[in-house]
Amino acid sequence: MLTGKPTITVIDDDDAVRDSMLTLLESYGYAVKSYASANDFLARSTGAADCLLVDHHMPGMTGLNLLEHLRAKGDGTPALMITARLVPDMEPRANRIGVRILQKPLADEELVRWIEDARTKRCQAQGESDASARQNTSAS
């Protein structure tokens, strides 16, 4: 079981969607930070999140472009991209950087399940990485 109050970052240009996501996620016990665009997130984000929830279709930088940018900088934060419509190259690009695409409309429970799944996989990967580092250190 994961401990602590996880922080979810929501990046969506639609005020109503951001507000409803904030209300929903807080009702499930998450701390939530929200940003109105990819550029807003890049300019104002101040700390790590346990999961990124990113809309794809936003003015300026798309959600997928933002996530590719973050991955290129070494940010492996679990991310879910939400979209109402898929574009032709979206799925292969998302798969290459380990991002799951969820299509709107999305049931509340389904969204929370995907967030917890992404967080759990990250914790397991970190645990394996920590164990490997300890093993390498003790072998020296």
Residue 99 backbone dihedrals phi, psi, to 5 degrees: -110, 130
Q: Has residue 4 got a pLDDT over 80?
A: no
Q: Is the per-residue pLDDT at 139 higher than 70?
A: no
Amino acid at position 49, single letter: A
On whether the CB atoms of residues 81 and 101 are closer than 8 A, the answer is yes
DSSP H helices, 54-107, are 63-72, 90-96
Domain range annotation of the chain: 7-139
Global pTM exceeds 0.85:
no
Alpha-carbon gap, residue 112 to 117, rounded angstroms? 8
| Topology of the domain covering 7-139 | Rossmann fold (3.40.50)
pLDDT digits (tens, 9 = 90+) for 64-76: 999 999 999 999 9
**pLDDT tens digit sequence for 29-62:** 999 999 999 999 999 998 789 999 999 999 999 9
- What is residue 5's predicted lDDT score, i.e. its pLDDT? 84
